[in-house]
Each structure stands twice: as C-alpha cells, then as structure tokens.
A and B are shown apart, each in its own frame.
Chain A
Amino acid sequence: MIFEEDFTKKYDDFITVRFLLASKMRPSLLLLLADSKRDLNDFREELDKPSASILHGLKELERISLIKKDFKNYSLSTKGILCSASLEKLFQDLYIFQINRDFWQNHSIDSIPADSFRKSYLLRDSVFVESDEHNLSKAFNKYLDLIGGCGDMKIILPIFLEEHLEIILENLENGDNLLLITNEDVFSSLKNSKYYEDLVDFSKKGQVSIRKADQDLKVFLTVCDDFMSLSLFYKDGLYDNSCFILNEHKDGIEWANILLDKCLENSIKML
C-alpha cells in the first residue's frame, strides 16, 4: 500500500472513535435510528437485548447530543445523522476485507493506494470468483467470458497471456476501444508477439492506447462499462490466477476507475 503522510503525531486521541466502536450497542442504536425514529419496544424487538442495556446506550448517545428524545420516541440529531452515516461507511469500507480475510492477507497490496482503501465501501457488492478442485480454471474462464464482447476496455495488465490478447483483439475488431497500462516486461513481450502489428493498426485508428507505468504493477485490473475485475499477486511475487474480485455495479466500476486513473497519472504513452 502506498502511504503519503506521517500519522503518529496526528492521531493521538481516539476517545470519540472508541466511544462509538468499543460497544456494539451504540452503533446498533445509531444505525437503527438512521431509518426512522423508534421507541424502546422497537429497539427491544430488533436487538433482542434487555431494556436496561438499551436504555443505558440511549442515555450515552443522548449525553453527547447524537440522539433526541421526544416523549417516548428517540430520533437522531443532525450530528447523529452524520455519525450514523460515518459508521455505515466504515462498516461498508471494511466489509470486503472481512468476508475474505485470507485473500487480502496473502496477496500483495503494494500497488493499491491508501486512498482506494478509504473508498472501499464502493466495493461492497463485489463477489470473489474462485477456482476450486472441481474446476481449476473456473476463475480464468469466467474472466474470458466477461471480457468477450464487453465493449470498451481499460486494463492494467501486469501479465502477458495470449488468450487475453485474442479476445481483446476480437473486441477491437468489433469497434471497441482499449486503454492498456502495462509494465516494461509485458510491453516487450507484446512488441515481440504476433499481436503487436494489429495493435499498432488499431492505435492508428484511434482505438488503442498503450501506456507504461513507472511503478511495479501488482494488480491486474479490468474496467468495462458493465463490470470491473481485480486480481492480485501473491506476496512471493507470483500471479494468482485462481481468484478475482468481480463487481458488476456502478460503485465498483467507479472504484476501479479511480485506481486506474491513479495508475494512468504515473504512466507514459508507448503507443
């Protein structure tokens, strides 16, 4: 991961953060109140907790003006609305990492800027496409299916594979466009391959742009109109072709475009 600031001096106080997160009751109450005002009975039914615990949590939130009480009903203050929205973002940010901890723990995240992790709520609807013992090429085949006829393509490509290029060229034949960001090694392989001449021709027609990143690429990212996919390398430097993250929603595609744009900023035009 790429960091851009010194954190130690800035973060020496976690009082409010811990107030909100060291208990499961307080965030639950704030999240429920974000939907609508509620009374104690509503909370009891939804949380299945004793009244005393709920009332204690409500009093704590009321004490710092996050909620208001009107007769029997509780509702969020403006400040409470903002805190509740912040909590919701936090939980969505971490969701993609929590549902597949091993994936994130075992792969290199060096090419993903810290800012992308701060926006990972955009990835909340992603799925992990994984090969298994019954089908070792499940992830690979699924990727080929997705990219076939996917329309315009923006790809960060740190690996060279003929199967990918065959499909990319078919798409180009159909009039789609390609923005390819790659590294020195892959670009050399491309240049020496039978596909390069075709890519040059498409480039002359304005359909292809190839750029070289000035950093070691450790992500294989594809962004099309209808999906994004992300594969990573193992920490030992080998590419993992057995699993990728797939997102077919607007938010996931936005996340991928942000990462791609960051990489684009630090690249030079090759073709």
Chain B
Amino acid sequence: MEYGGKMYYFSIVGDELKFLNNSEIRLKVLVDLLNGPLKIRDIDRRSLLSYSSISSNIHKLCDEGYVEKIHNSFQLTNLGLIYITVLLDFHDMISAISDFSDFWLDHDISSLSVDDLNKLSSLEGSELIRCSSMDIYRTHKEFKRLFKNSKHLKVIFPYLHPEYPKLIRRLILKGIKVELIVSKDILDGFIKDIGNDVVKKGISEGNFSIKYLNEDIKIALAISNEFVSVGLFKLDGTYDQNRLLLSDKEKAIIWGLNLFRSYDEHALSLILD
C-alpha cells in the first residue's frame, strides 16, 4: 500500500474504527464518559441501554485501551478521549453533510479547498433556508434582512442581482464597512449600479473595498459580525437561488472568514481613476 495515500491511513486506523462503530453502545459510553468518570449504574440511569449491554461493552472498551477502571468507576484513557473527540468532529462533519443533503447534492463544490472541507464540521448546526411555492423569494429576503442588520460585511458575489448593488450602496452611505469580491464579468455593472461617486467615497473613506477575480466564482458567500451564509451553483452551471445555508455560530463565521480570505488573497484590487 502506498505510504501516505488515501488507503494507507485507512489501513492503519480502520480496524479500531470498525471496533468502536460496531456497537452504538460503545460510542454512547465513550460520549457519556467525556463528562468524567462514571459507574456502570450511572450510565444505566442516564440512558435507555440495558445494564448488561453497558457492562459487556465497557469491558470490551477496557480491553482495547479506550476506558480504564479506577476503583468502582470507569474513565476514558488518553486514547479514549482522543478517539471520541476526533469521532465527534467527524460526526459534526457528517451531520453538516447529511442535514443539508439537498444543499450539497448535485451542486458545484469546486470552490471549496481541502482545508475548507476538513473544517466542514464548523457548519454543523446551520440552518438551510429553502424557497417554497408559498415563498419563492425566501432566500433573497433572508439575505437582504441579514445585510441590513450588519455592522460590517464581507461578501463574494458570483452574480449580479439588481437589488444587491442598491443594498450595498445604502450600507456604504451609512458608513458600514463592506468588502466585496466579484467576478470580473459583473464588476463594471456592479460599480455602475452602486454609483461611481459612492464607490469612490467609500474607498477614500476606507469603509468600502471591491476586488475582482478573472475566473468564474462558484460560490456566494456573505459574512458579517453575526452570521455567515453560503450559496452554491448547481452542476448544470446555474446559481441555485432556492437554497441558502445560514449560521450564526462563531465557528461557522470563522470558517466563512477563512474561505473569504483565501479568495481575497487572489483577488485583484480595483484601481479607480
């Protein structure tokens, strides 16, 4: 097996993970023990699991070095702590994928780097805003509502919607700090719709910047002090206006800021006459 290849790491840890995941009880016991040492009857009381199942599995966990018995209680070993911590991070990543299955499925995720994917657990607990036949502009309205309440804003716009430049214009005039990245195709239109005078004013006063990328942008991203929102393109190349992933959690906002930064590093600054 090729050292360092995908299958190599799996070959090293696969058996241990199979052992832990063969039983839901083992995983639940490890999670329970994260809160500190417990007796079997304490775990029994806290869960719907049977005493004998807990006892049998906790002893198997002891045999494999994940749990140790101290007097009459059981506690996690270092490896138990590490394995369940990493597994819960994996759980969060899988939740972020499964809970928003239709957000990811058949959508273009080429805009996300390996690093972004590795931190996908940060999006766990987000909310997927979907349009419905009773509210076909729900994502758009939500996007606008969030903008209005922001104290500062970083946005990647891959497309031009007539209302967004107007919204940005109002924010700039209110003195709110706005940083935009757009694709080159829509740069001129965006500036024209915001208004050249307002763009110049914002840049000179330091509360507005607009950068552009020559290549296609395949993600819509907005981050403020209070939220992060993500929109994706479908695999047929059209932007999915019906779905918006939204989170107000700090870890998700940090995830969004890192993603914005990676685009910002490659984006070109606008030079105004």
Contacts and interface: CB of A to CB of B under 8 A. Distances in A.
A227 to B, nearest CB: 18
Given A93-B89, A118-B86, 14 more contacts: A1-B82, A6-B35, A12-B28, A16-B98, A22-B18, A23-B18, A78-B107, A82-B104, A83-B94, A85-B117, A90-B89, A91-B17, A114-B85, A117-B82
Nearest to A65: B105
A34 B118 CA distance: 15
Nearest to B121: A118
A124 interface: yes
Contacts of A34: 6
B13 A86 contact: no
A18 interface: yes
A7 B35 contact: yes
B88 A7 contact: yes
Interface of B: 4, 6-7, 9-10, 12-18, 20-22, 24, 27-28, 31-32, 34-35, 46, 65, 77-79, 81-83, 85-91, 93-95, 97-98, 101, 104-109, 114, 117-118, 120-121, 235
Interface of A: 1, 3, 6-8, 11-12, 14, 16-18, 20-24, 27-28, 31-32, 34-35, 65, 77-79, 81-83, 85-95, 97-99, 101, 104-105, 107, 109, 114, 117-118, 120-121, 124-125
A82 B97 contact: yes
Contact of B9 (A24, A82, A88): A88
Dominant secondary structure of chain B at its interface with chain A: helix
Contacts of A79: 97, 101, 104-105
Contacts of B108: 78
Nearest to A12: B28
B231 to A, nearest CB: 14
Contacts of A121: 118
A78 B235 contact: yes
A91 B32 contact: no
A8 B32 contact: yes
A11 B106 contact: no
Contacts of A94: 13, 16-17, 82-83, 86
Closest 9 pairs between A and B when the two form their complex, measured CB to CB: A91-B9, A21-B21, A85-B117, A86-B93, A22-B21, A118-B89, A94-B13, A90-B90, A31-B6
A11 B13 contact: no
Given A16-B94, A86-B94, A11 B31 contact: yes
Contacts of B109: 78, 81-82
B9 A17 contact: no
A113 to B, nearest CB: 10
Contact of B86 (A28, A31, A93): A93
B121 to A, nearest CB: 7
Contacts of B121: 118
Contacts of B16: 94, 98
A11 B22 CA distance: 17
29 contacts: A1-B85, A7-B34, A8-B46, A17-B21, A18-B21, A27-B10, A31-B6, A31-B10, A32-B6, A65-B101, A78-B108, A78-B109, A79-B101, A81-B109, A82-B93, A82-B109, A83-B97, A89-B90, A90-B89, A91-B6, A92-B9, A94-B13, A97-B83, A104-B78, A104-B82, A105-B79, A107-B78, A109-B82, A125-B4
